Chain A
Amino acid sequence: MGSASVIRLTSPCTLRHRALAVRLVAETCRLVRGEGTADEQSMGYDLRDPFDAEIVSAFAEIYNNIVLHAYGRREGETIDIAFHIGAGMLTIEIRDTGVTFDPTLVPEPDLDALPEGGMGLHIARSMLDEVVYEPGPPNLWRLTKRHRPAATSTKAS
């Protein structure tokens, strides 16, 4: 993709490994914003910057979808994640070999009805500049967000 630098993670794709991937996303966001990594002693997430919060929110939902739906919680599956760090922009490519689906068939949640499910893709789409899904194998999710220092709100209102 011609990015300045790329960070890759190949990991078992389970909910037990989710925190590892999410933490890597959070740390990569700090690099895009020109900051160093967080305090090594900190066990919590530092998501005060909206850029970090929105990417982590979106990634976490896509990761959940892959574990729960593409792989159906099966053990022994893997996920490949590539972080392309550009100038003020982060693109995350996620590859899995699970069941494919058609994102265009996923309805927008009726937020007035206080849904208890079906919100993940809505969160991802709303928090990012671009969400691309290409069925495989391997299936590819491409999540892109530009860092706008002055912008502190999500696209959705």
Chain B
Amino acid sequence: MPIDFSRSDQGDVSTLRIAGTLDVNTAPELGPMIDKLVEERRVRVVVDLSGLDLIDSSGVAALVALYKRSRVHGGQVSVQGARDQPLAIFKLLRMDKVFTI
């Protein structure tokens, strides 16, 4: 399944929903969305991964980049809804603590 993502804003909170596969092939598609969230200096970004089936290290790197770049201007990034394979990867890489899953 290819990637499917969307963004919705409510006040200071932006929710980025990512479904399908976030990997070496699809992570670049997410780049412009991440750039925009960072450029707009969003106060809080919630990444909803409840529809994500598969992630690889390239996908993790994209989310880490969002986290690091947002922190530069004081923004917060959290992840919710991760399950199955993506959750296993986050735990292995200790990202579950960083993203407060």
Report which of B1, B24, B91, B94 forms a contact with A44, defined as CB distance below 8 A. B1
Q: A57-B85, A60-B56, A64-B57 are in contact. Are A154 and B24 (CB under 8 A)?
A: no
Is A139 an interface residue when CB atoms closer than 8 A count as contact? no
Contact A45 B1 (CB under 8 A): yes
Q: A44-B1, A47-B54, A119-B57 are in contact. Are A53 and B92 (CB under 8 A)?
A: no
Give the residues in chain A near B85, CB-CB below 8 Å: 45, 47, 52-53, 56-57
A46 to B67, CA, bound (A): 28
Interface size of B in residues (CB-CB distance below 8 Å) = 27
Is A4 an interface residue when CB atoms closer than 8 A count as contact? no
Report which of B25, B60, B68, B98 forms a contact with A119, defined as CB distance below 8 A. B60
Report which of A48, A64, A116 forms a contact with B56, defined as CB distance below 8 A. A64
Interface size of A in residues (CB-CB distance below 8 Å) = 35
Is B20 an interface residue when CB atoms closer than 8 A count as contact? yes
11 additional A-B residue pairs with CB within 8 Å, beyond A18-B23, A46-B53, A119-B61: A19-B21, A45-B54, A45-B85, A54-B88, A56-B85, A57-B85, A57-B88, A111-B94, A114-B64, A116-B68, A123-B92
Which B residues fall within an 8 A CB radius of A?
Answer: 1, 20-21, 23-25, 53-54, 56-58, 60-61, 64-65, 67-68, 84-85, 88-89, 91-95, 98
